[in-house]
Amino acid sequence: MFGYVVANVDALSQEEKLRYRGMYCGLCWTLKERHGEFSRITLNYDMVFLALLLSSIYEPAEEYSSRRCMIHPLENNKYYKSAILDYVADMNLLLAYYNLEDDWIDEKKVSRLAASRILSMELDQIRSRWPRQCKAVEYYLDKLSELEKSGTDDPDGLAECFGRLLGEIFVWKDNDDHSLFLRDFGHDLGEFIYSLDACCDLREDMKKGRFNAFSGLYGDGGDPEPMLTMLISRATKDFEILDLKKDIGIMKNILYSGVWARWRIEQQKREKNNG
């Protein structure tokens, strides 16, 4: 998810900005409390979306407090604590660990390897708390790796694989009234994220001779935006039928605007390079 599922902050109200920032700071403090200071390097706004989503559905008891931190030492930062932030912090670290492992395999950066080894010390407790999610992440990442190594020309199969992974992460409680709808939403959002990431990286991957599932479809300069629009439309349809109770404006901002931010940046770069 990293880098895509974020808000268009300029379009949020002041109240929404405070809520969004409070959940981000809450995730930061929760990471520290559950997994130590180093885990905070994995913090990102993407997982705040999951925290907002699950909090909107389950409405857990939230504690609201404020304190200073190293990044903002001169002011008290308001933040939330809840059982859902505990869950999201665990999933944040789990996904970050595998993201670092993937970076090490692809780029052989020693810093990535070192960070992943430090985070790996937290995995046993996460596996004990959330065995279904952890097994799903490991299974679908292995399957995704096998497909990519095979050089498959089926981008739908790859996107489906990542969608299945994210669908399991979006399900906090097994087999309750919301799990089926959350799994469907996570799946469709995951397909969009995988496809968007691949399309954003397409030119660079082709330049460096790296595998990219969309090189056969759009490597000659075709426009993937209609395909991406169709995928995010599926996800937003899933979103609209969820039993949401709060923070709906922030989440709509993310899904209808924020997720396109990086794609727009890549398009601007492309236009600049083309003169």
Q: What pLDDT score was predicted for residue 210?
A: 87
pLDDT digits over 15-42, tens only? Answer: 999 999 999 999 999 999 999 999 999 9
Percent of residues, the chain, with pLDDT higher than 90: 69
Beta-carbon contacts of 135 under 8 Å, excluding residues fewer than 6 positions away, are: none
String of b and e for 15-42 (b: at least 16 CB within 10 Å)?
ebeebbbbbbbbbbbbbbebbeeebbeb
Q: Say if CB 75 and CB 68 are below 8 A apart.
A: yes
pLDDT at 63 over 70: yes
Span 237-247, pLDDT tens digits: 999 999 999 99
Average pLDDT score, the chain: 91
Asked whether 93 and 126 are in contact (CB, 8 A), the reply is yes
The one-letter amino acid at 152: T
pLDDT one-digit tens code per residue, 134-159: 999 999 999 999 998 888 888 999 99
What is the mean pLDDT of the segment spanning 242-266?
Answer: 95
Residue-wise DSSP of 113-129 = HHHHHHHHTTHHHHHHH
Residue 75's φ and ψ, nearest 5 degrees, are -140, 150
Calculate the alpha carbon distances from 267 to 4, 235, 254, 270, 271 in Å. 15, 22, 19, 5, 6
pLDDT value of residue 19: 96
Cα separation, 35 vs 20, whole angstroms: 22
- Looking at residue 115, what is its pLDDT? 87
pLDDT at 110: 80
Main-chain dihedrals φ then ψ at residue 209, nearest 5 degrees:
70, 30
pLDDT for the residue numbered 73: 66
| pLDDT(217) > 70 | yes
Question: How many angstroms separate the CA atoms of 265 and 3, rounded?
Answer: 12
Instruction: Quote the pLDDT of residue 95.
Output: 94
Confidence of residue 71 (pLDDT cuts 50, 70, 90): low
